[in-house]
Amino acid sequence: MRVTTKGQVTIPINVREVLGIMPETDIDFREDNGKFYIVKISKPRKTGQFNKLRGIATAKMTTDEIMNLTRES
């Protein structure tokens, strides 16, 4: 295996299959006595792409007031 200039490597398909690694899977590297291990991180699935943004707005405006702002010329 060769490391790219960005520090990237391709995980062989047989390793991905054994670990259940698919696109967008989070992994970590763990060290134990000088040996490193790839560990799949189990995280709850997000239900939508905007879920992490839910509830962080600080505007004290109604939806209609915000919509009116976007429609003004």
Query: Is residue 6 one of the residues assigned to a domain?
Result: no
Could you list the pLDDT tens digit for every one of the 73 residues in the chain? 899 999 999 999 998 898 888 888 898 999 999 999 988 887 665 666 777 677 776 778 888 888 888 886 5
Q: What per-residue confidence (pLDDT) applies to 42?
A: 78
User: Which residues form the domain of 60?
Assistant: 13-71
Query: Is residue 28 one of the residues assigned to a domain?
Result: yes
Quote the number of domains for the chain: 1
Residue 31 Cα distances to 26, 27, 48, 52, 73, angstroms: 17, 13, 33, 30, 58
> What is the pTM for the complete model shown?
0.47
**Which H helix or E strand runs over 35?**
strand 35-40
